[in-house]
Amino acid sequence: MVRLGYDSITTVLVTYIATQIGFASSWMNPFCVVVAQGIAGVPVLSGSGLRIVVWIVATLIGLVFTLVYASRVKKNPLLSRVHESDRYFREQQDEVVQRPFTFGDWLVLLVLTGVMIWVVWGVIVHAWFIPEIASQFFTMGVVIGLIGVIFRLNGMTINVMASSFTEGARMMIAPALLVGFAKGILLLVGNGEAGEPSVLNTLLNSIAHGISGLNNAIAAWFMLLFQAVFNFFVTSGSGQAALTMPLLAPLGDLVGVNRQVTVLAFQFGDGFSHIIYPTSASLMATLGVCRVDFRNWLKVGASLLGLLFIMSSVVVIGAQMMGYH
């Protein structure tokens, strides 16, 4: 992206934010929607019509936001908050060498495409998660590296392959430490188990009772707000669903909030808040690889999150008022 005239924040927007918006607004997310609906006693994958509309709107918001930001940086790179830190990538730019597209290049593309399809199949059919997915990509990297050595792609040798792996591992040390620290926050306030006495469960129970005396539409919005705040401590979608839905689903019945709306509030509150939370392992890893300081990202990410939260608030309140099922 830097070579194209953009900055590292643009890279975060077109990679992490794109996937996060899809994750947060998906109508068939197996880790959040399906789990939450199952716990709440709502038919699995029901209410997909509204979620599809929300996915389209949220995607358009993210797309327009990214295009506006990227266009501004393209016109004046000095406006970028990471102009100085991007110097690292600018210094890494080599002259573009033109060469024919060889059989080895085709093999690399074939392996890359094949692994992508394989991983998607594994996630859908066998419910693969991080360990399985990571092992596939690690194997893919080794195979592609060997192809590069055999066909001498860009002068690739075994030593270059090994040094490239070392450099990649070195870049991931800081993000890996941040992921560990983020997990440590959860361990300090509670390990995410619903049956164990902890600061986390006390907080959850107190806030849930506070919602019980509100108007149903306002209660639905506070559920959204609560889920967004609670996600700071429990970044796992399925874990948050397991902790919060057993309390909020019956509580919603008492205050007149439809269970489908309760799931909707959980889905948006859990998903979109990952955009700025330092406890999100995937966010901190992405920022680490892109060499984006969290403070610089916060100024950009908070603006986008504000737009998405306004949209989520309108959808949740509107869904409750219109009797969404």
The tens-digit pLDDT sequence of the chain (325 residues) is 888 889 999 999 999 999 999 999 998 887 788 888 888 888 888 898 999 999 999 999 999 999 999 999 999 999 999 988 888 888 776 555 677 889 999 999 999 999 999 988 987 788 776 688 889 989 999 999 999 999 999 889 999 999 988 888 877 776 667 666 766 766 776 655 556 677 767 776 777 677 777 889 999 999 999 999 988 888 878 888 888 888 888 888 878 899 999 999 999 999 999 999 988 888 988 998 898 999 999 999 999 999 999 999 999 999 999 988 7
Distance (Å, whole) CA 149 – CA 113: 20
Tally of CA atoms within 13 A in the half-sphere of 3 that contains its CB: 6
Q: For residue 212, what is the DSSP state? A: T
pTM: 0.75
Q: Looking at residue 158, what is its pLDDT?
A: 94
Per-residue CA distances from 154 to 1, 98, 113, 198 (Å): 21, 10, 21, 55
Per-residue CA distances from 285 to 42, 69, 154, 181 (Å): 34, 22, 28, 12
Q: Looking at residue 219, what is its pLDDT?
A: 92
AA letter at 100: P
3-state secondary structure of 324: coil
- Structure tokens, 208: 């849930």
CA angle centred on 168, ends 164 and 169, rounded to 5°: 115
Helical ranges in 190-293 per DSSP H? 199-211, 216-230, 237-255, 259-272, 281-290
Helical ranges in 93-198 per DSSP H? 103-126, 130-150, 158-189
